[in-house]
Amino acid sequence: MSSQTLNQKQQEAVLHTEGPLLILAGAGAGKTKTITERIVEIIKKGTDPRSVLAVTFTNKAAKEMKERIVSRLEDEHVIERENPYNPTPVIKTFHSLGLMMLSEQSERLGLLKHPTILDSSDSLSIIKKAVEQLGIDPKTHDPSKIRSIISREKGDFVTLSDYRKKVASAHMDIVASVWRVYDEELKRQKAVDFDDLIVRAVHMLEDHIDIRTQYQKRFKYIHVDEYQDTNGSQYAFVKLLIDPSNNNICVVGDTDQNIYSWRGANLRNILNFEKDFAGTKTILLEENYRSTGNILTLANVAIKKNTVRQEKNLFTSQGEGGKINVMPSWDEQAEGELVAEKCKTLIEEGQDPRNIAVLYRANFQSRVLEEAFIRANVTYNLLGTKFFERKEVKDVMSYLRAAMNRSSQPDLKRVFETPKRGIGKVTVAKIFANEDIPASAQIKVGKVYDFLDKIKSAVETDPLSHIMQMIIVDSGMEAEMLEGSSEDRERLENARELVSLTIRYDDTPAQDIIAQFLEETALQSDQDNDTKEKNGVRLMTIHASKGLEFDQVFIVGLEHDLFPHKNIGNRKQSKEEEEEERRLFYVAVTRARKHLYLCYAELRTIFGQKQINAPSEFLDDVPEDIKELHDLYYKQNGGAVVYF
């Protein structure tokens, strides 16, 4: 590939090598090719390759970028082909760059040259010890939640001293105390955790002018990919690495693809780039090489309704392509069957199943889809944890199994530990060994057994869906997850999906159906694993699909409160967060190369209740002249005529 294959805007970005450059690259607009060619151009001008730095977010992206750049440098005879001693650009993730710099300066910082990097379980272990050392009740102040708070604050580049200044509750005071002990233990072990790889590198650059100058002179040209996804510490890291005498910083990103605010990504970093660096040259990459014209028309119409963004308009020379398929179904089972049968037809017509993707907003939606694909005998790959393998689903199922079989120790262990109720591992071990336990523990254990008795009694009289609902609410699991993070609230949705799943059995008393239900769910889980390594249709959340592309894309569950998603817990959102659902829709739409199918159900069972759903506001964005509206699809046993 040579610079001749670049379009005018890409060529402009490649040739603008000096000073600050902001490349706003729309989905499928060839940003990686542009960065690659820009780095090649800089090196061809005589710059030492080791003076060029590119920072990405994932090891996979860094590896692919390095391979492309090295290949192009070999093509241009800048470096010798297959010479292992060739100098090459420094291409790292944020974390690996931080580790490299900390290792290089280890003696100065009092760190080991190859410091111990603590993984999440190591960090949690130290935090648990800190909680114990400080005499804090771990049942009231969950060590794992304390760890998550510390990690998020570090990502926002909040130091312990900064955090102490904003302490406004007893819990925050406890977090600060644990954080202090945690930091002391890291220093004692000469270790760093994952967040520290960036935070400590930033502190090093702030505190040591000579080290900062050293790296600013070393990296004459800096590139940052996916700049819209940077958080507070990554933003500070980048700014400190830039030589203020030349401001040779090039960032590539897209305000319309910022979908990770819940991870700490700050959209303001890219919005403020031109203010941060005077004289910034801004180039828009708007020509899309992935999707057909109709798909891009929908993407443009949808995203223009957002206000917190930088304006751009995607276009393509590939023609209009097929119309946007809008496919309503009677309920979620019908929707699942419709999608599975359509995928089956596409595969029979010669479509590679790996080029078909089914995208959904919330993890719990995968359960109905998995069932439909199994019934239709269509091989699929689920990206992420399968429904019945998720911890929260296993927890609810364990209550049911333990109520029916008190000898099942794995289920009893889950029941004792979820939600946290002050029954520790030592107590559980003593119960299983038939040893005496303290009187206080006996009371807690007795309450658990009473609840299991209540479940068993309910099995004789109540529908299975009511029992599932009782387990989730009366066990305390619902309250615990509602008080947690956004991930915890998503886990609650998964648990609630079990209630919806069991509605189908409500015409039969639970005592007559429970064995069949437990058997079916166990068999389904086994069957899912059989398809794990096969080439099948991809099922995944929209978040997981970012960066991927497929010929045929189905977006399911396009209903009000599902997509756009309802904010569980009613926490007040910023304008950027409110608009993130529309950015997520934009990302989903732009995964499609050739055909896009927008699916919704008129009825959907949520937490055991059938609800009539208004179609998503996003469906209103589809222009009438590019829309193909299909007939309402009804699921019928044994397979119905599918209206395509």
Amino acid letter, residue 613:
N
Question: What pLDDT, on the 0 to 100 scale, is given for residue 644?
Answer: 40
Average pLDDT over residues 577-588: 92
Tell me the average pLDDT across 468-477: 92
pLDDT at position 511 is 76
CB 306 within 8 A of CB 574: no
pLDDT at 533 over 70: no
The answer to whether residues 562 and 361 touch, using CB atoms and an 8 Å cutoff, is yes
Measured CA to CA, the distance from residue 44 to residue 34 in angstroms comes to: 15
**pLDDT, average across residues 14-36:** 94
Classify 197 in phi/psi space as left (phi over 0), alpha (psi -120 to 50) or beta: alpha
Q: Is residue 461 over pLDDT 90?
A: no
- pLDDT, mean over the chain: 88
Please list the residues that pair with 474 across neighbouring strands.
none
What does residue 379 show for φ and ψ, rounded to 5 degrees? -65, 135
Tokens of 356: 């078909």
> Bigger pLDDT: 263 or 29?
29
Distances (CA, A) of 579 to 229, 255, 331, 358: 15, 11, 28, 23
Binned at pLDDT 50, 70 and 90, residue 513 comes out as confident
Strand partners, 559: 615
pLDDT band at 519 (very low <50, low <70, confident <90, very high): low
The answer to which of 47-61, 402-416, 460-474 has the lowest mean pLDDT is: 402-416
Q: CA angle, corner 266, sides to 382 and 183, nearest 5? A: 90
Distance CA 180, CA 126 (A): 12
With contact defined as beta carbons under 8 Å apart, do 556 and 338 qualify? no
Task: Give buried/exposed letters for 292-308 (b at 16+ CB in 10 A, else e).
Answer: bbbbbbbbbebbbebeb
Q: What is the pLDDT of residue 424?
A: 81
Higher pLDDT, 578 or 240: 240
- Distance between CA 216 and CA 393 in Å, rounded? 50
In the prediction, which pLDDT does 522 show?
Answer: 58
3 state DSSP class of 118: strand
How far apart CA 1 and CA 5 sit, in angstroms, is 7
Give the span between the Cα atoms of 633 and 644, in whole angstroms.
Answer: 9
- Across 61-65, 242-246, 484-488, 531-535, the highest mean pLDDT is recorded for 242-246
Q: Which residues, 6+ apart, have CB-to-CB distance to 636 below 8 Å? A: none
- Helix, strand or coil, per DSSP, at residue 552: strand
For the record, the structure tokens of 505 come out as 């059995």
CB 592 within 8 A of CB 323: no
Q: Is 283 helix (H, G, I), strand (E, B) or coil?
A: strand
Maximum mean pLDDT: which of 3-12, 181-190, 618-627: 618-627
And the tokens for 334? 């019908």
Active site residues: 31-32, 225-226, 257, 591
Query: What phi-psi label fits residue 115: left (phi over 0), alpha (psi between -120 and 50 degrees) or beta?
Result: beta
pLDDT band at 530 (very low <50, low <70, confident <90, very high): very low
591: tokens are 């995964």
Comparing 346 with 389, the larger pLDDT belongs to 346
Alpha-carbon dihedral of residues 325, 330, 331, 332, nearest 10 degrees? -30
Q: Which residue has the tokens 């179904």?
A: 329
Beta bridge partners of 25: 285
- Residues 14 and 6: beta-carbon distance below 8 Å: yes
Rounded to 10°, the helix 120-133/143-155 angle is 120
Q: Which position has the higher pLDDT, 512 or 334?
A: 334
Provide mean pLDDT across the span 139-148.
85
DSSP alpha helix (H) spans, 27-169? 31-44, 59-75, 94-104, 106-109, 120-133, 143-155, 160-165
